[in-house]
Structure 1
């Protein structure tokens, strides 16, 4: 608070900055010309902070608050919108929201992590006459829809919250599994599994990550990692379940039971989900926010997501077929997928925990590099060695498990929590083209060469190279933010 001006000296900016009740010292000589610029800044800063407090009481996020809270370092630009917010970082309500996200992610990533099971079954039953690339489009279209349609879901989430998005998305993913057993032709499977299930997954995906950003900031990596273990648990339970039940009940009833499981989880998710922050004032649009790509850190992050999608879904989809093609019993081959997802359980949890301490971009760069090492050192020479295949499944599962849990946190580091949906959905739009093209490319590579081994070699090299480029992109974003300082937490 400043003293009311009573004379010419009191009206001076210097005197107005002296707190009430604190007399100025006449013995101290002040060079008004040298001090005036800094005091002007201080006065403006105080005015902005007072405006921020008034706006916060009305739950309105103004540009004045952003300017007052903006850090001086460009590497911290992603936190501009969060500096005036108090995040719970825990508590009953926050962890119930994490539980809601967990249930949503089972319906999305639990099914995604069963891709190899469905690919193997379709290729030997309903779609036995189709080549690998054509069958791969089913799963690529599913993944494309999940990620691409987030560009419309993100702004809706920022403006209206998660409630209706989660409700409608839950109905669609449940309906997809209940109807899948009735499908016998290619277009029926494409419409039911890819389109219906993909739209449901798109409506669930953004809210599942976004609500965590409303309650956590410092511990966001840890909380997101806990929720992301849902994909690993679903990827362990569903393949083992399908391996045991399909021979007894048939494919139709096996998928219907999965649908009923997802129905129960969806009910829990809808009861627990909620948002905490006031709506974003950014205009809603069905088009990507191209202005976000002016930030090279965000652009590099999006490119990393694209190539990471190329890398991760190739092993997830073809590991079962690879094992069967190299003399493994088909039932045992399903176990490899369960082991891969069991490894990813720790990979989703532990890197997220470490990322909050060592830096999100630091950790995702290292885990992507570890994926390259496991693919080239274990999968490439595996052949018919069951021991190498098991080692690859577990270690690649651990290394790749962090992928789907860390990149949403990396995006959140580049923006404020109120605008998370807009940033995340734009990044997902870019990544969706990676998912759309990854499996058809992998399937086409599998068909090249005069022998099957040449096709598998091309597919494995494709996965390793994709991860190498992804790791370089995330490293590029980190270097732009904090230069080459190795010990910098970012």
Structure 2
């Protein structure tokens, strides 16, 4: 669509497709649990709680690293590896296909080992995928593998944040806490692609993606470390389901 219609109409058509899919899907939604009416729209006082402050920071750094591969792996395929434009779109498809499967299967895993444990595992694997596969191995095979694995685990690292919040602070406070957590996503997203693109232009001369990859990996490293601290503060017994 971008090649034939331009990016403006591509965005419009994508938006209309989203409306066409989401509206019928919303009719199928059913309330599964009764949630008490929230006392506050946004629970700002929660930031005084060290556990929530840690979770807020984790979600911020996770969002900061999450969008980097989605935004730059496709162009990396063409610019850095010299592959065709077809491979660029294929990498986007691989990332999103992995995400579809991962959000479902990791959710099942969270039922067995606990959402906090599952989220730590997905963050750790996401981090290793960026810094131990994408960064050092500059070939198409490694990129395809990292795109598939990252797509599989990274989506759950974001979607599990509300579940972890509910398990730690209760369902009653969840609606108020989500406002702050989604705000952290916004901050992380703003620190993600714009800065990454600037690093690519200034230090990579538009072709060397190493500074950008390290920058994205640093976000996931920080998120993994902070979530590990949160996990140990909640319960230092690694065998406990949390």
Of the three residues 277, 296, 299, the one matched with 2:34 is: 277
TM-score by length of 1: 0.46
RMSD: 2.2
Of the three residues 170, 174, 196, the one matched with 1:442 is: 196
Residue matched to 1:329: 84
Q: Quick one: structure 1 residues 358 and 318, their matched pair in 2 at CA, closer, same or farther if it must change by over 3 Å?
A: same
Q: Tell me if 1:406 matches 2:163.
A: no
Once residues 204 and 228 of structure 2 are traced to their aligned partners in structure 1, the CA distance between those partners, rounded to angstroms, is 38
Once residues 258 and 421 of structure 1 are traced to their aligned partners in structure 2, the CA distance between those partners, rounded to angstroms, is 29
Higher relative contact order (CA 8 A, sep 6+): 2
Q: Tell me if 1:346 matches 2:101.
A: yes
Contact 1:358 1:489 in 2 (8 A): yes
Once residues 360 and 289 of structure 1 are traced to their aligned partners in structure 2, the CA distance between those partners, rounded to angstroms, is 22
Residue matched to 2:238: 486
Once residues 337 and 450 of structure 1 are traced to their aligned partners in structure 2, the CA distance between those partners, rounded to angstroms, is 22
How far apart are residue 416 of structure 1 and its match?
2.8
How far apart are residue 335 of structure 1 and its match?
0.8
Contact 1:296 1:477 in 2 (8 A): no
TM-score by length of 2: 0.89
Once residues 37 and 95 of structure 2 are traced to their aligned partners in structure 1, the CA distance between those partners, rounded to angstroms, is 39
Once residues 330 and 282 of structure 1 are traced to their aligned partners in structure 2, the CA distance between those partners, rounded to angstroms, is 52
Question: The residue matched to 1:418 in structure 2 has which SS?
Answer: coil
Q: Could you list the runs of 5+ residues in structure 2 that have no partner in the other structure?
A: none
Cα distance per residue 1:289-328 (max 9 Å; x no partner): 2221232221111111111111111111111111121211
Residue matched to 1:472: 225
How far apart are residue 338 of structure 1 and its match?
0.5
Of the three residues 251, 254, 261, the one matched with 2:17 is: 261
How far apart are residue 417 of structure 1 and its match?
2.3
**Matched residue pairs, number?**
240
Contact 1:336 1:390 in 2 (8 A): yes
Cα distance per residue 1:67-126 (max 9 Å; x no partner): xxxxxxxxxxxxxxxxxxxxxxxxxxxxxxxxxxxxxxxxxxxxxxxxxxxxxxxxxxxx
Residue matched to 1:378: 133
How far apart are residue 418 of structure 1 and its match?
3.3
Q: Quick one: structure 1 residues 424 and 331, their matched pair in 2 at CA, closer, same or farther if it must change by over 3 Å?
A: same
Once residues 30 and 204 of structure 2 are traced to their aligned partners in structure 1, the CA distance between those partners, rounded to angstroms, is 56
4+ runs deviating over 2 angstroms: 246-267, 269-279, 414-419, 447-453
Larger Rg: 1
Q: How does 1:17-416 map to 2 (within 5 A)?
A: 242=1, 246-248=2-4, 251=7, 253-273=9-29, 275=31, 277=34, 280-284=37-41, 288-326=42-80, 327-383=82-138, 385-416=139-170
Q: Could you list the runs of 5+ residues in structure 1 that have no partner in the other structure?
A: 1-241
How far apart are residue 452 of structure 1 and its match?
4.7
How far apart are residue 250 of structure 1 and its match?
5.1
Contact 1:368 1:399 in 2 (8 A): yes
Cα distance per residue 1:365-388 (max 9 Å; x no partner): 1111111211122211333x2212
